[in-house]
Structure 1
Amino acid sequence: MTPKAFKPYGTPPPFDFDEYKDSFELWQRQWSIFMALSTINTSLPQTDRSSYTANILLSCLSKPTLRAICSMGLSDIELDDPDIIISKLRERCNAGRNCHVWRQQFAHRTQREKESADGWVTELRDLAQKCEFDSDCCDKCQDTRLLGQIIYGVHSDDVRKKLLQKGAALELDQAITILRTAEATQLQAAHLRQSDSPSIQQVKTKSGNPNSKLAARPSQQASQRYSRGPPAGAPPNGCWNCGAESFHQRSECPANGKECGCCGKIGHFKKVCSKNAPKPETAGSIIIGSIMTGELLEADVSPAGSDSRVTVSFLPDTGASIDAIPHQLYEQLFCKTPLHRAPSRAITATGEEIKNHGTFQATVKLGQTANNPSSLITMHVLKDLRQPVLSKATQKKLGVLPLDYPYWCVQSIRINVSPQQKAEMLKSLMAPHPLIFDGVCRPMAGPPCHFQLVEGAIPSAMRGSRPVAIPLLPKLKTELDSLEDQLVICKVVDPTAWVQPIVIAPKKDGGIRVCVDFTHLNNFIIRPKFETATPFQAVRTIPAGMKFFTVIDAFKGYHQVPLDDESAAMTTFSTPFGRYIPYEHHRNARVPRPLPTDGQLLAEFSSYPPAAHSPPQKDYQWEWTSHHESSFNEARKELSSSAELSFYDPALPTALHLDASRLRGLGFVLRQQSLDGKWNVVQAGSRFLSDAETRYAMIELECLGTAWAMQKCRQFLEGLPSFLLLTDRRPLILILNEYSLDKLDNPRILRLRL
């Protein structure tokens, strides 16, 4: 007689050594619950019961765990005994367990920020059981240790004060109640502080196309793999890598460095793997809350099989892929229409599931005119939806959106106008306003501006001026003369309490922009209040029916604002050509470091006197001896007596030679090619490596030398159209010339490149 097929109730709990090595008792409790619900011990014959249970147990083991069990040398009879298998699992998990180690972890386990009280207390209880406090003296030792750890490790100081106020009469249950009450009170207060801003929900449905790529893929970062909420099997406030109820650091996670049994990736367990959970199609967002009446569409809805027609105000949402109405509206208007089982599930934008009561077929039509299009749709009834929604597909059928939305593009307008006609048109437009288009900066009408300083402001006056690169000096002089001719600035010979530095910013057209650094002055200015509309507010005030937008830009707007004498003296700035009083303010500008546009491979080595080879060491007093003096004089004599020295000329070809050595340090030579083709030395320099820099990789060391040399030669290189960079490290040429920033994985090289 063929035995009757048997299927146990429930699902057996999976087991893995790495996952349950510290919580074997928890898995054993799950196994006992499964055995009680499965009816194996009551439905199967006594002869088949042990073998059947052992096979189910072995099927629950992960591949590494099953491989370990099979390698223990158990006989076939022993493998058919579930008690023997469970004892082997317990021995393997308990191997190396030491209560003193657990007690140290218990003493350092404090409540983390935003960690729930129940989750923290549960983990403390689990650690306390492993610490074996009950074996110390009595049964009350564990509760006493738990109470002390709760008082010591609670995150909030206010809650700790409440616990301490109870004194010696405080008990464990009272302490846990105080924790829960404080946590609930804090959440309620946070909800009361929240405003009634519009909330955002999202509806997801199953894709009818098996090759659909609309399902959003979570990123593969460790604890940030799920941008829409926790994965299936992971608590919202717990660890999304191992599935623990409480959150912990990545280094403390049991899944750290472990391979997933589902996707094979490192860093998470199978039970929280995203590939285990179904991935519904993204249907877009549904905006609910504060919705203007003008944004809604009124449509007539006729359920299938009914002659009645009901007008409903829908929100047209191009991000939604299903049509939906709130369950409350269904009860009011369509309660007699039967609902069918929903073929999809809906979730909010935070990943929480929203209940779908079902669907019904209905015809939707806009307006009362017979020529208006209509569409047969599937209407979903959602519980927590506040506003009826029309999907993007339905909007296309009803003519609300173009059929090729969102790929609709405006065709270019071509007008056959010759250059001569265009010039005449521009001339006729500019003729009525000659003072606007003559390129001269003039002051605006109105009283001059006055700067009001805070009480106790300390003037700042720099000595001299910031150095400017030699190739930029002629352009700076031309720009200053032009501003002085237009009466925008004027030279100052009298002493002033405030003197500001300048920064030169190159323009794309080859010119320069003179930017005054008013950082110190801005710290003492009392800024006047001037309310202006944001771009969004300004656009919302445009009347309906407008088709053209006009953009107006002021010509050197800050130059057009005059200052009174007191304020003008505060804005005095210093240049290599003297001090000036401006009538404008510029924001601080940062001059970008020019990168070489060409690279060649050339070995350039420098030798240094032996006395200079040893940099000063930490905790050692530096002493300049006669040996150092003679080495220094020898190096200076060699450098100054070279026949290859010359003055810098920005018109000559320039090359920067550099080299880096882990033993000798960094060195560079700046050369220029004279008219006879000979390369002469303009500047040279070197330095030792710091203790941290000696551990750089060679490519990092070469990149460091490049950045340092270019910074040292900035006065000669900045403003040049191009220069040669010669190095003996060919990969550095590719990094500087060809690699984009997103291709640089080394953070140190990326920082030096910037």
Structure 2
Amino acid sequence: MEFNRPVRIKLTGNINDNFKTFKQEIEVYFMATETYKKPKEVQVARLLNLLGPDGLKLFNTFKIEDKSIETIFKCLEEYCVPKKNVVMEHYKYFTRKQNENESFDKFYADLRELIKSCEFGEAEETLLCSQIVLGIHDKDLQTKLLREHLPLPKIIKYCQAVEQAEMHRRVVQKESPALDQIEERQQFKSKGWSQIKQNNKSQRKQEHKNKNQVNYKNKNSGESQNNNVKKFSCNRCGISHGINECPAYGKTCNNCFKLNHFAVKCRKGANKGELHEVQCNNSNDEEEELTYLSLNSIESEKQINWTDIVVIDSKKELKIKLDTEAQLNVMPLKEFKKLNKNLEKSSVVIKSFGGFKIESLEKVKVNLKNSKNEISTYFEVVNYNDLLILGLKDCIKLNYEIKEVNEINSCKTEKDVFLQKYNDIFNGLGKFPEKISIKVKDDANPKIFPPRRVPYKIVNKLKETLDKMCELKIIEKCKEPSEWQSPIIIIKKPDKSLRVCLDPRELNKNIVREMYQIPTLEEIKLNLLNKKYFTLLDLRDGFYQCELDQKSQNYCCFSTPLVGIST
């Protein structure tokens, strides 16, 4: 029986990997050919034969007294395998991150290979879990993995499932049926009119610098053009955009006050009562801007119906939303597809809440009829899932009753109730319970500085500032001479008020410093493990809330052109 001969050892390139592969092939080959049962001289001869010319030359440089397979492999390993530096192996492992287009299986396999030479011992599985979570490229997936501690098999299975689901989503999105007249949404800014040609076997292509290419196609034409960047309908902001281009990223929802989505797409109950406002600019480019605003729901004893049923083109009955704050009509893309009508050019730019633009898919002209009147009007076609929106102008034409609300009853918010409950805490400046003591060196020489000149223009304002600080009990007038007196620095704030600062350079030189160890970033990270809620607290006028003891007050005296003042 014949067996595949091992490939000769290569002493160029990555000789470390080449040696490991060659050694494994030799062991398999010798086992298959029963070479291990042969005499030692035969085993050595076969190994030298399989080394090849380069390997044989290298063998001749070795000084081996007792020739055997083990000793030959040991000498080859000393030559091919570099000495391992554990610190560098740790560095390679902990700096390994998943690349953008790299599959999870390849990322996990590389981590497995790198961790072999790290000598972590029993902590190997735990550190492998940590590096997967910290090195994963998908930040949403990383956030989910950080919520709770999962064993390694579950982490692997979960990451593979998420990656597979994302691949399936892309396939489904790619194969979704195209619109008869519109292949993809137009999203660009131009001062000229956009063009739509609906002749058979026609194409249009219009390029805009730094914007996406948009294509339209005829229903009977099998030809189309693809956008450079694939867009999808986002469930976080409500508009269509490319990957990593969501305008809601980093923004706070006005409904649940959480990050990375708008209130219109909030899962904790949509805000009742949406306002749509159109601002028309009388500029040369004839551009109109539609601004989308969101209004939080106001509790009312009586439920008001803001919708009605209208007939479109004397054929189809549709439910429509009446919005007296809108100056433009909007139609969902799914409803337009059912009308089998042609689009007309439009210069409208729709702005969502936050000022992010949403391009209209042009406009369509329809006939509207309700129980009171019939009109012909235009609707801007937009890719969103909701009712048709009828603006103020056409609400008046269709004789809908419009009422003005000039007065509303204010209701207390949770913030107002909280402030009222703890009124004693939020009144005044406040101060910490313990007093601060400044320790001065025993051989310190007290110094007194004369007051610095103050421009006449701010003398009165300086006096008002010092009087206010005295009223708030931040400072007080000196009642007796002091051995220490420092000058002051006056800084003008953006609101034109004054900030009075002490300039205690000489005092600082004589203060006995209290040494504190500053925590490192690694220590802070450990304290943040398994934490869910984070907040930022800031003390306004924080240093004014630190009271000095009597001796320290004498150290911090300062002089002004007005009067001696002590903090």
The TM-score normalised by the length of structure 2 is 0.31
